[in-house]
A = this chain, B = another copy of it.
Amino acid sequence: MPPASHQTITPHPDGTGPHGYSLPLSPSGRSAMLTPPPWHFSGDVIMIDYRVDPRAASRFLPPGLTPGDDPGAAAAVFATWQWCSDSGEELSDPSRSQFSEFLILLGCAYDGAAMARCPYAWVDQAVPLVRGWVQGMPKQYGAVHQTRHGLVGRAGSRRTEGGLFAGNISVHGRRLVEAAVTLTGPVQEPPALHTVPLVHSLATPAWTTAVEQPAPLAASEVTDVEFGDIWTGTGELEFFDGLDEDFAGLRPVEVGAGHVFSYAETLKGGRLLPLPEG
């Protein structure tokens, strides 16, 4: 019997029978909840650099990852996304092609290469949530809100000096994080932690057996990265007592600059990173 992981589900040898990139398997394969990668993402981002206790951060790093050159570097990221598959057909139904996301990033390194580890992430739609689990990205469900970008008039927020961009996330009816950026000016360079590969753990919960072993590491492979209209400013960031002690260990010990920008990427798949010999 073949192992159960990372497969494309195939039809019967006779060509009928259910298949697809993901569950639900169906005769034509078209009922699959997920389309296969590549997935194209376009979004507006509010990001706040901050610092955590480096010892707390290191406890979130699995074997194979080290704190890297700047232990304790972290970021809180609010993003509002539109996405599509290669066909682009999802864009004709905005009830399917949009979601909002909040995530924490920790600076780290694998074999000397700078990467980012995402210990926590929340989204407000099920398809990106499950796609997260396919990648090893720990997406849970949360209510995520952020200021809309580029509206005219007195209630609008624009990327101008003094522009205010705010974000917040609640989970199960409890506020978890609030953040804001008051813009000071445009910059050329995107924030560092948004330019390195994400490295996730391909961790599938035990169901039929109880084998205990570390989860493989996989780095996200992205192409067609585009940053637009990057501004920097003064960041604010507050964590609330809404989750658990592990999450609380990643509270800011110092809040740095805030960033507001547009961003696009194509996510093509994951690249296995060999684990160190046990």
Chain A residues within 8 Å of B, Cβ to Cβ: 1-10, 12-13, 16-18, 21-28, 30-31, 33-34, 36-37, 40-44, 56, 59-63, 80-84, 88, 91-98, 119-121, 125-127, 129-130, 133-138, 140-141, 143, 145-157, 164, 166-170, 172-175, 180, 201-216, 218, 224, 226-228, 243-247, 249, 262-266, 269-272, 274-275, 278
Chain B residues contacting A167 (CB-CB under 8 Å) are: 94
Since A6-B211, A153-B264 are in contact, a sample of 16 more A-B pairs with Cβ atoms closer than 8 Å, ordered by chain A residue number, is: A5-B6, A7-B203, A12-B63, A21-B205, A30-B246, A40-B155, A42-B151, A91-B157, A93-B168, A94-B148, A97-B155, A127-B141, A129-B130, A135-B207, A136-B207, A208-B270
Min CB–CB distance A106 → chain B (angstroms): 11
Min CB–CB distance A236 → chain B (angstroms): 10
Chain B residues contacting A133 (CB-CB under 8 Å) are: 23, 130, 133
Can you show 30 pairs from A to B with CB atoms below 8 A apart?
A3-B5, A4-B215, A5-B5, A6-B204, A6-B206, A6-B207, A7-B204, A7-B212, A12-B62, A13-B278, A17-B59, A18-B59, A18-B61, A18-B62, A23-B201, A25-B201, A27-B246, A40-B155, A44-B151, A82-B148, A84-B154, A88-B154, A91-B157, A92-B180, A94-B147, A98-B145, A134-B207, A170-B172, A170-B173, A173-B175
